Structure 1
């Protein structure tokens, strides 16, 4: 049974005693330690999170669920500062991939079942999601193209070295711009050679093996057919979208929100689409790999509504070309 489910069961009826006990269980489960002054603050934030979760999950019209996780004692502002980058603008990105053949697409695709999706990683308290989306795409396309297995590539190389391509380390960036950097230096090195530190650093001289690519494709703005086509026939695709309040509490189901922006100038989180499908009730979705650790969401993944450009998912999509 998951930590989130246990905690929600404990909270069956919300009262001060129940909340105190649930908060104590939460602090033990996630190894939280506070100063005496901070304890009251975190407990109050946690209570507000619990009530938000209860209200959301009691709404029968919601297609996704919320639950307790390691971020439940953070405010939305703290979360945005630590886990999201600044708004990025991909409106000037030129589309180079458009599927003109409006023919057959498989009903469902999941590249995880092919063994070509690397394990979920954790970006820590650094807005470097764009680097994890980029390495995730590179790792998958390398495995698909070469049949050499999955490498583990260096996010820190991108954090430290890709600034000249309009990326900003722990303050955000875009996979399309990271792919341009990778092409300019003939590849990425491994995580072992250039380990992740979750903070901005000085670009190092790299001597290890490079995993190179020939180029990349940017999927035409708002073209969800081409996005699905690329996922189905090319491999996982780097995407960016806007994260708003509540998403950090996601535990399952098909995420959607009428409040998030779908403008290409307001994306703030990059992730990796590894497939798509349809629920038993006909809800279309993308399968998306996040970079907040495997304990978040559905084992590190979430489902995002497909076909409506939800939160800007079709604004900034791109993928690498290995050969």
Structure 2
């Protein structure tokens, strides 16, 4: 009589372990699928033009520093101008977008006003519309305002993020209690002061997430700056490296320069993600203690 329950316990205790193998394997495949192209770019940036086409895919070359020198000397270091432009577009656009999303999402979550549901549904429609569809209308509007081929032509369309507003509303509704807002009002705090001093610190982890999503989206954006900008001194990395790649058909030596530039363009994203992930965890742990 004691052997039957023992077998039942053993089978039920082993079953979750066997089932866990499948999602773990799927996750490992996803990691490999994501990291293999990055690993190839890192290895390929160490090769010269001959090694790039003759050596095996993941065998390092001997020309890493030569590629960096060629990249830095190309057109008097225009690559670093592209890097700076991208930092302005992504950093400025992400900060302004996170601020606007925080204010708009908090308003939708904590205030009642006429047409609230209608306007929020419009924002949800904006989430579903692909950015490619809006690129040409945005260019026509920016050109009519006289901002074409300026930094503002890329920054202004990047400020409004329907998905960021949606996340901010969800996070504000979950992380900012109504009782805290009412207590601040009873203490004589204005609505604006309550938002800045009470709501924003509570929403900080969500705002970091919105900032990170928008930063990566702007950093990797190609179509919008390609349409808006005509001067290559204002190009971001995506458009600048694309122009180098198109020139590589006539000058194959530029292929290694493009790959080295692509490798360098990944580093700021990795560093930013690691820094913000640490900040995110600190905020979450602090909020749980409070």
* TM-score normalised over the length of structure 1: 0.24
Which structure is higher in helix share? 2
Higher relative contact order (CA 8 A, sep 6+): 2
Which structure is higher in strand share? 1
